[in-house]
Amino acid sequence: MNIQNLIRPTIKALKPYSSARDEFQGNSSAMVFLDANENPFENGVNRYPDPQQRTVKSLLSKIKDIPQQNILLGNGSDEVLDLIFRAFCEPNQDNIITLPPTYGMYSVLANINAIEIKSTLLDNNFQPKVDDILKTVNENSKLLFLCTPNNPTGNSFKTKSIERLIKEFKGIVVIDEAYIDFSNEESWASRLKDFPNLIVTQTLSKAYGMAGIRLGICYSSEEIISVLNRIKPPYNVNELTQLKAIDRLSNIENVQGEIKRIVLDRNQLAQELSAINFIEKIYPSDANFLLVKVDDANLRYQQLIKNGIVIRNRTNQALCDNCLRITIGTFAENENLIMTLKSLK
Ligand SMILES: *Cc1c(COP(=O)(O)O)cnc(C)c1O
């Protein structure tokens, strides 16, 4: 597969902005920096951040066992996804494939970028219908989004289906692994060498407990990473975010402990929810939330709000009639939820 043929001509021809810190890459504190029109008085953030976030990437590289050249970081996954659109999708010409019910940002980004959305519903077990998907594709289909574990359904897609889609789809397959750390599945980032058209995205927003700093991660071939690097804003990940991420990634055992806790609590919450009489179904989850089917989603949602508990009403999503999405909270929050649900009439 020739990736160059998938890149928009405008992007191929682009001469990227070269920032002061791109042109000089030394790190010595003995240096005198008079190159970037910064205020010289030290306050912790008076200097521009590292445009390539090398320290963050080196920590991630060790944790995830992926070479640094295969990593790009963004201001949340949302920025990473937007860069992917702008690299591969020609406005008013190309299309993307999504598999509803799934994460809403793929469609929003497609709409912002004037890209047509082609959708193929998941099947009744929330698995991709591979043959139908491949039939939907045409020569302008540039991106296929696979969210696994999927939001809002919580399940992981079957390895065989994903592998077939990556092999047979003639564009870029983007696997969104925002919830991978809560699952027992292996990340597809370990398969980058096998699939030149694969992009895997992750985030520090969920399992890593850092939604507030906005740090999204993209793993792909060096070729694709270098394309995305050409179009990203030079200083897209700010200094405070980098410092916080370095701190958290340097104490990875804390993250792992929290993930274990959340997964245990998820399984216990599922058990306790099954005793609530108006909950009809609890879908299996590989993520930090549960999708549950109730008798009347709008009613239950409103009742919970009145009791000070906010969850996500997904009843208007395809295949999610009367479904609510509940994030796993602390032990006390989960208990509060259960008590409240038990008290509802
Ligand atoms: C929460 C979530 C993200 C995370 O987005 P950020 O911009 O990194 O916070 C990405 N994909 C899915 C499916 C999500 O649910």
Q: What tokens were used for 190? A: 């370990």
% of residues, the chain, pLDDT over 90: 94
Helix (H) or strand (E) segment spanning residue 159: helix 159-168
Query: How high is the pLDDT of residue 16?
Result: 79
Q: Among the three residues 215, 250, 285, which one is the final residue of a domain in this structure? A: 250
CA of 93 to the centre of ligand 1 (A): 27
Q: Are residues 271 and 300 in the same domain?
A: yes
CA of 203 to the centre of ligand 1 (A): 7
Q: Are residues 31 and 180 in the same domain?
A: yes
CB 218 within 8 A of CB 80: yes
Predicted confidence (pLDDT) per residue in 203-257, tens digit? 999 999 999 999 999 999 999 999 999 999 999 999 999 999 999 999 999 999 9
Q: Are residues 38 and 62 in the same domain?
A: yes
pLDDT > 90? residue 45: yes
Which residue lies with its CA nearest to atom 11 of ligand 1? Answer: 178
> Hey, which of 156, 203, 285, 289 would you mutate to test ligand 1's pocket, going by the most ligand atoms within 8 Å of its Cβ?
203
Q: Are residues 261 and 240 in the same domain?
A: no
User: 247 Cβ partners below 8 Å, 6+ apart?
Assistant: none
Q: How large is the average pLDDT for residues 306-323?
A: 98
Distance CA 274, CA 341 (A): 11
Q: Among the three residues 196, 215, 250, which one is the final residue of a domain in this structure? A: 250
> Hey, which of 72, 75, 77 would you mutate to test ligand 1's pocket, going by the most ligand atoms within 8 Å of its Cβ?
77
> Hey, which of 147, 206, 215, 218 would you mutate to test ligand 1's pocket, going by the most ligand atoms within 8 Å of its Cβ?
206
Q: How large is the average pLDDT for residues 261-278?
A: 98
pTM higher than 0.85, yes or no?
yes
pLDDT > 70? residue 307: yes
CB 240 within 8 A of CB 94: no
With bands split at pLDDT 50, 70 and 90, how would you rate the model's confidence at 24?
confident
Query: How high is the pLDDT of residue 204?
Result: 98
Q: Are residues 307 and 159 in the same domain?
A: no
Residue that has been written with the tokens 């139908």 in this structure: 132
Query: How high is the pLDDT of residue 15?
Result: 84
CA of 344 to the centre of ligand 1 (A): 32
The CATH number covering residue 295 comes to 3.90.1150.10
Predicted confidence (pLDDT) per residue in 99-134, tens digit? 999 999 999 999 999 999 999 999 999 999 999 999
Q: Which residues line the pocket of ligand 1, CB cutoff 6 A?
A: 76-78, 103, 147, 151, 176, 178, 203, 205-206, 211, 216
Q: Are residues 243 and 269 in the same domain?
A: no
Query: How high is the pLDDT of residue 129?
Result: 98
Q: How many helices (H) and strands (E) does the chain have?
A: 12, 11
161 backbone dihedrals φ, ψ, rounded to 5°: -65, -45
Q: Are residues 244 and 271 in the same domain?
A: no
Query: How high is the pLDDT of residue 53?
Result: 97
Q: Are residues 75 and 11 in the same domain?
A: yes
Q: Among the three residues 250, 267, 294, which one is the final residue of a domain in this structure? A: 250
Q: Are residues 159 and 35 in the same domain?
A: yes
CA of 43 to the centre of ligand 1 (A): 32
Residue 187 gets which letter from DSSP?
A: P
The torsion region of residue 172 among left (phi > 0), alpha (psi -120 to 50) and beta comes to: beta
Q: Are residues 300 and 268 in the same domain?
A: yes
Average pLDDT, the chain: 96
Q: How large is the average pLDDT for residues 88-96?
A: 98
Structural domain total, the chain: 2
Q: Are residues 75 and 196 in the same domain?
A: yes
Distance CA 163, CA 195 (A): 9
Query: How high is the pLDDT of residue 28?
Result: 63
Query: How high is the pLDDT of residue 94?
Result: 98
Query: How high is the pLDDT of residue 103?
Result: 98
Which residue lies with its CA nearest to atom 12 of ligand 1? Answer: 178
Which atom of ligand 1 is nearest the CA belonging to 103?
Answer: 13
Which atom of ligand 1 is nearest the CA belonging to 150?
Answer: 13
Which atom of ligand 1 is nearest the CA belonging to 203?
Answer: 8
CA of 77 to the centre of ligand 1 (A): 6
CA of 211 to the centre of ligand 1 (A): 9
Q: Are residues 318 and 300 in the same domain?
A: yes
The CATH number covering residue 182 comes to 3.40.640.10
Query: How high is the pLDDT of residue 102?
Result: 98
Residue that has been written with the tokens 């019910």 in this structure: 101
Q: Of the given ranges (33-37, 71-75, 91-95, 168-172), which has the lowest mean pLDDT?
A: 33-37
> Hey, which of 82, 103, 183, 210 would you mutate to test ligand 1's pocket, going by the most ligand atoms within 8 Å of its Cβ?
103
Query: How high is the pLDDT of residue 123?
Result: 98
CA of 254 to the centre of ligand 1 (A): 21
Which residue lies with its CA nearest to atom 10 of ligand 1? Answer: 178
Q: How large is the average pLDDT for residues 37-54?
A: 96
Which residue lies with its CA nearest to atom 14 of ligand 1? Answer: 178
% of residues, the chain, pLDDT over 70: 99
Q: What tokens were used for 45? A: 């953030």
pLDDT > 70? residue 27: no
**Strand 172-176 versus strand 116-119 pairing type:** unpaired
Q: How large is the average pLDDT for residues 29-53?
A: 92
Predicted confidence (pLDDT) per residue in 140-173, tens digit? 999 999 999 999 999 999 999 999 999 999 999 9
CA of 228 to the centre of ligand 1 (A): 19
| Full domain range(s) for residue 124 | 3-250
